[in-house]
Chains A and B, each alone.
Chain A
Amino acid sequence: MKWFTTYNNGSAIDLRKIPALTYAEFFEAMRERLANPACHVAHYFGVPVEETRLRVWAILLDDAEHTIDVASYDVDYYDEDLPSLTKEFPAMHPFERDMTERWGVRYDGMPWDKPLRAPSRSARRGGTIDEYPFYKMESASLHEVNVGPIHAGIIEPGAFRFICNGEKVLHLEISLGYQHRGAERQIETSESLLRQVLLAEGIAGDSAVTHTTALVRTIEKLAAFDSSKAGNLDVERTVALELERMAMHIADTGALCMDVGYQLGQVACEALRTLTINTTQLWCGNRFGKGLIRPFGTNFPLTDEMRQTILKNVAEIRRRYNEVRQDIKNTPSLLSRMEQCGLVSAQQMQRIGGVGQASRASGLARDIRVSHPWGVYTDRIAHQSIIKEQGDVMARLMMRCREVLQAADTIVALLTELDCSVATPAPQWDVKLQPYMFSTALVEGWRGECCHVAITDGEGRVVCYRVKDPSMHNWLALAIAVRSEGISDFPICNKSFNLSYCGHDL
């Protein structure tokens, strides 16, 4: 047995039950599984076990079987002959780069062995983040354009290097790591669960609910806590997630309108986003939902009054947003900017391991709510992913439009009949966690699949914590999307993905 199988709705795994393979066995097992288009890697990371020894973990998702499969191998600092998986499966690239950067593991034949986040303890010695070795093409007729790390708007930093032939982009390379602040390390060295939760809220503030839900679910599994029996907890978490999805998709709709100079759509979306996040604020006191997601319970159980406020506001947002959607669809000048621009094919998405709304806009049906359901998606909500085939900016925008309406419908379905007199427990902070466990939870945020992993020691302390934001997979999709586009279309291509810098950099 090479893999240990579990489910998103299942429990944590006894570490000792996960088989430790040799690298050769692991390599073959991965090749076999990744050849199946239903499978992709959710996470792949190393944890030091002894001075020079690493235990490496891989989490593989099988969308058809709804399984989470875990495998591991040991590698010694001096081990050689570790053929790279990236050559065959580019989706492995960020993970192998991370392994090389953090621990000095060298994968034979790995292309583009470059920094990923440029942390201070990088195993790759010398050089600062500003000396990132960008790809170069030598030709008198080509020129380079550098953007960043500081960008022109109020957004996070990252460096973009374009190689252009006139106006046309031949190649874009993205260098990240400017936001690296040591989030994983802070989580695994935290003494209190509250501190870990607050750190999760700040992994990516625009996905605070998503990341915090992933963290509390990872922790709750380590205490064999069943959230489905905790009053309305699962419903409330899903409503919070869907409000976050609505707010961010609406914000991105507005941002895309702004970038094509369509002010009516922009201001209408700004106002609708305000209404959405103010609804979240009315519920928990914070516009981004910080404070709302707590382990083993909630500080803000839904009252009947709040339930009705959410329903009323969501109906209003849905109605008005749908008018914006209709308007965009019927405005030829917008369509001509966004259609056939920034193309990523389903095949490319598959190869790079794309996830979330961007993958679904390219015809790749990756959606944790369907493939690896938890909570309400296991019984109350039969979620059907929205899939578009075109893979262009317009498809990613229309994906957002449809998902806003769908999120509103999900909220209505969950709240219409909800009995708010049911007691939902308060959070708990001093729960003993099981020793020697491996726990992972997946949550489909508005950007896509978010994966958290915790490993406990003999005392039940979290000694290893790993986070994966969907952006880790999808940044490469943006680089592909702008190839052969005019460089002036970069802003709308970028906004159509709206990937996270801080979520990637951690």
Chain B
Amino acid sequence: MLLNKLKVFKSHGSQYIPDLDAVQLPEIFRGRPELSECDEETARELEKMCPTKAIAASPFSLDMGRCLFCGECARRAPQAIRFTNDYRIGASRREDLIVTPATRSIPFAHDAVRKEIPAMFAHALKLRQVSAGGDASVEMELNATGNVNFDFGRYGVEFVASPRHADGVVITGPVSRNMAEALQVCYDAVPDPKVVIVAGSEAVSGSLYAESTEVDRSFFERHQPDLWLPGAPTHPMVFIEAVMNLIGRRRRGEQTKK
């Protein structure tokens, strides 16, 4: 009996990623898109083909908050759009998710973060997750942030079972009509000051469901998210890197403080 366990233990080895800052995703991963100026006609064609209305022709831009990273636009016009494996794409301001031909990295606006967030949560941030029409993929990636590989708990960031234990909510999904009230109830139950994080492009904008009659996004008319995370789904590294910036333990683009 013990022998079996030792075998599992030995094969498992060490899976933990020692330095999360050094993580590189494979080349093929579709993260931050890069745009190049292109002719009007191509831009119009791209605008028309994108099913999530993420692309605008003039001025030419791509809104990651709507985009599902399907990559089809980059196949249609590789000279105009290219996806990089850069996962540093979470932002504290919604408008920072809009990529233009001038964008070569996504800024993280630390001055747009409410002061109490880094002051209170830098060393412990407990979150309550609410799935509201999410497709379970973002939810699984959020779960993965705490798994044996990523172990985000090492920085004190964890998901908890009750809003009463939480410092904020993480919302996934376009917010289905039938979840609108439960989301509000959950938010109200979190003690102040509280953080709101939207994870996944569906949560950021509604994406394909933005116009569905079965979706109710009125929550966002009342409450302003502190962190916007695009993706379909949001990769665990997108979440981890952006939350580290939100709580002030990293400054994107600068030498990391250990």
Measured CA separation A128–B148 after assembly (Å): 41
**Interface check B119, CB cutoff 8 A:** no
Say which one of A11-19, A218-226, A323-331 lies at the interface with B.
A323-331
Inter-subunit contact B212/A271 (CB<8 Å)? no
Instruction: Find chain A residues with CB under 8 A from B51 CB.
Output: 190, 192, 194-195, 198
**Assembled-state Cα–Cα distance A264/B135 (Å):** 29
Residues of B within 8 A of A251 (CB): 140
Report the separation of the CA atoms of residues A274 and B179 in the bound assembly, to the nearest whole angstrom: 30
Given contacts A154-B139, A194-B51, contact A186 B209 (CB under 8 A): yes
Taken residue by residue from 137 to 149, chain B's Cβ proximity to chain A (1 for < 8 Å, 0 otherwise) reads as 1111111100111
With contacts A177-B178, A205-B138, A323-B11 taken as known, whether A285 is within 8 angstroms of B212 at the C-beta atoms is no
Q: Which residues of A contact B144 (CB under 8 A)?
A: 270, 274
CB distance from B151 to the nearest CB of A (A): 10
CB distance from A166 to the nearest CB of B (A): 24
A231 in the interface (beta carbon within 8 A)? no
B176 at the interface (CB under 8 A from A): yes
Residues of chain A in range 463-506 having any CB-CB distance to chain B below 8 Å: 500-502, 505
Please tell me which one of the listed residues B28, B70, B179 contacts residue A179 in the complex, with CB atoms under 8 A apart: B179
Given A270-B148, A274-B149, answer yes or no on A185-B70 (Cβ-Cβ < 8 Å).
Answer: no
Nearest chain A residue, comparing its CB with the CB of B73? A194
Q: Does B205 have its Cβ within 8 Å of any Cβ on chain A?
A: no
A382 within 8 Å of B (CB atoms) = no
Q: Which residues 129-188 in B have Cβ within 8 Å of A in the complex?
A: 129-144, 147-149, 159, 161-162, 173-174, 176-179, 181-182, 186
Q: Which of B8, B75, B139 has the most CB of A within 10 A?
A: B8
Give the complex CA separation of A205 and B30 in angstroms.
17
User: Cβ of A502 and Cβ of B133 under 8 Å apart?
Assistant: yes
Flag if A268 contacts B12 (CB, 8 Å): yes
CB contacts (< 8 Å) of A202 on chain B: these are 68, 135, 137, 202, 208, 232
CA distance A270 to B173 in the complex (A): 24
Task: Indicate which residue in A153, A177, A320, A327 contacts B5 across the interface (CB closer than 8 Å).
Answer: A327
Contact residue among A154, A290, A327 (Cβ-Cβ distance under 8 Å from B70): A290
A187-203 near B? 1/0 per residue, CB < 8 Å: 00010101100110111
Q: Which chain A residues lie closer than 8 Å to B137 at the CB level? A: 202, 205-206, 208, 288, 290
Q: Are B12 and A182 in contact (CB under 8 A)?
A: no
CB <8 Å contact, B131 and A271: no
Q: Are A149 and B179 in contact (CB under 8 A)?
A: yes
A329 to chain B, nearest CB (A): 9
Contact A157–B28 (Cβ < 8 Å): no
The reply to whether the CB of B214 lies closer than 8 angstroms to some CB of chain A is yes
> How far does the alpha carbon of A201 sit from the alpha carbon of B201 in the complex, in Å?
14
Chain A's nearest CB lies how many Å from the CB of B55?
13
A264 and B147 in contact (CB under 8 A), knowing A150-B130, A202-B202, A281-B29? no
B7 contact from A177, A299, A323, Cβ within 8 A:
A323
- Chain A residue with Cβ nearest B4: A327
Q: Complex: how many Å from CA A157 to CA B181?
A: 12
**B5 contacts across to A, CB distance below 8 A:** 264, 327, 331
A267 in the interface, Cβ–Cβ < 8 Å?
yes
Contacts of A290 in B (CB 8 A): 68-70, 137, 232
Q: Does B58 contact A (CB under 8 A)?
A: no
Interface residues of B in 46-77 (CB under 8 A from A): 49, 51-52, 68-72, 75
Is A104 engaged at the interface, CB distance under 8 Å to the other chain?
no
Is residue A287 within 8 Å, beta carbon to beta carbon, of the partner chain?
yes
Partner of A286, one of B8, B11, B69, B132: B69
- A271 x B148 contact (CB < 8 A): yes
Which one of A95-103, A113-121, A233-241 contacts B? A113-121
The minimal Cβ–Cβ distance linking B1 to chain A, given in whole angstroms, is 5
Contacting residues, chain A, for B7 (C-beta < 8 A) = 323, 326-327
B235 located at the interface, meaning its Cβ lies under 8 Å from any Cβ of chain A in the complex: yes
The residue that A181 contacts in the complex, of B28, B68, B140, B215, with Cβ under 8 A, is: B215
Is B90's beta carbon under 8 Å from chain A? no
Given contacts A186-B208, A323-B4, A327-B8, contact A178 B213 (CB under 8 A): no
CA distance A208 to B51 in the complex (A): 18
CB distance from A259 to the nearest CB of B (A): 13
Q: Is the CB of B142 within 8 A of A181?
A: no
Which B residue's beta carbon lies closest to that of A208? B137
Q: Are A181 and B133 in contact (CB under 8 A)?
A: yes
Chain B residue numbers with a CB within 8 Å of A319 are: 11
Q: Is B176 a contact partner of A178 (Cβ separation < 8 A)?
A: yes
Instruction: List residues of B (1-53) whose CB comes within 8 Å of A's CBs.
Output: 1, 4-5, 7-9, 11-12, 15, 26, 28-30, 49, 51-52
Q: Are A299 and B68 in contact (CB under 8 A)?
A: no
Cβ of B230 under 8 Å from chain A: no
Interface residues of A in 230-284 (CB under 8 A from B): 251, 264-265, 267-268, 270-271, 274, 281-284
A120 contacts B213, C-beta separation under 8 Å:
yes
Say whether A412 faces chain B, with CB atoms less than 8 Å apart. Answer: no
Query: Which residue on B lies nearest to A267, using beta carbons?
Result: B148
A121–B202 Cα gap in the complex (Å)? 22
Cα A178 to Cα B176 in complex, Å, equals 7
| B52 and A118 form a contact (CB under 8 A) | no
Task: State the CA gap A121–B213 with chains docked (Å).
Answer: 9
**Is A168 close to B, CB under 8 A?**
no
Q: Which chain A residue has the least Cβ–Cβ distance from B130?
A: A150
- A152 contacts the other chain (CB 8 A): yes
B225: min CB distance to chain A, Å: 18
What residue of chain A has the Cβ atom nearest to residue B140's Cβ? A206
Whether A181 and B136, one on each chain, are in contact in the complex, defined by CB atoms closer than 8 angstroms, is no
Q: Which of A120, A282, A323, A326 contacts B28 (CB 8 A)?
A: A282
- A156: interface (CB < 8 Å): yes
In the complex, the chain A residue whose C-beta lies closest to that of B72 is A194
The complex places the Cα of A192 from the Cα of B26 at a distance, in Å, of: 30
Q: Complex Cα distance A157/B139, Å?
A: 11
Q: List 23 A-B contacts (CB under 8 A).
A: A121-B213, A130-B181, A153-B161, A155-B139, A156-B134, A178-B182, A179-B131, A180-B176, A182-B212, A182-B213, A192-B51, A194-B49, A194-B51, A204-B136, A205-B140, A264-B8, A274-B144, A281-B26, A285-B29, A287-B141, A323-B8, A331-B1, A500-B136
Q: Return the 10 tightest CB-CB contacts between A and B, nearest first.
A: A205-B137, A195-B51, A205-B135, A182-B214, A152-B161, A327-B4, A181-B133, A182-B212, A285-B28, A267-B148
Q: Which residues of B are interface residues toward A (Cβ below 8 A)?
A: 1, 4-5, 7-9, 11-12, 15, 26, 28-30, 49, 51-52, 68-72, 75, 83, 129-144, 147-149, 159, 161-162, 173-174, 176-179, 181-182, 186, 202, 208-209, 212-215, 232-233, 235
